[in-house]
Amino acid sequence: MIINSFYTLIATLSFGILSNIRGKNLFFASIGGALTWFFYLLTHSYFHISNMFSFFIASAMGAVYSEIMARVKKTPVTTFVICSIIPLVPGGGMYNTMFEVVQGNINNALILGLKTLSIAGIIAVGVFFVSSISKTISLFRKKIFSNITKK
């Protein structure tokens, strides 16, 4: 599990270079990808949680890491969140779906396509969930702070 996370760190580092992430942000974004993959492996392989819920937990943890690092490094969240979710992207599922379409196996293509879209959707829901909570907390803190300073 640790070795796989290290390999993911290297792959995410390469993706970050392609995405023109510079300086220390590149390293921290790569750590986000490794942590996300580690949480996916931990929940799916070690705790035997379902595949979809494992993707949700991993994407949510990646989004939490991204929100924290964006505030610490004073950088946009997308710098970190894209590298954090890249290990979870179901590229193999899309490839297999298209392969089944080309082979003429429409039933298998539909099954694989639905599964792939479900994974992509659950990743988006995990990121959206954390982003919404973060935004709500931020607005709540601003409102509380503005009420305190008015008095």
Q: Of the candidates 21, 120, 20, 114, which has an alpha carbon nearest to the alpha carbon of residue 66?
A: 21
pLDDT per position as a tens digit, 17-50: 999 999 999 999 999 999 999 999 999 999 999 9
Give the C-alpha separation, 95 to 134, whole Å: 34
Block residue for tokens 């894209």 = 82
Confidence of residue 142 (pLDDT cuts 50, 70, 90): confident
With a pLDDT cut of 90, the percent of the chain lying above it is: 92
Mean predicted confidence (pLDDT) in 141-146: 82
pTM equals 0.91
CB 31 within 8 Å of CB 95: no
Confidence of residue 151 (pLDDT cuts 50, 70, 90): low
Tokens of 135: 């935004």
| Number of structural domains found in the chain | 1
Give the C-alpha separation, 70 to 38, whole Å: 20
Structural domain span for residue 91: 2-150
* Structure confidence at residue 117 (pLDDT): 97
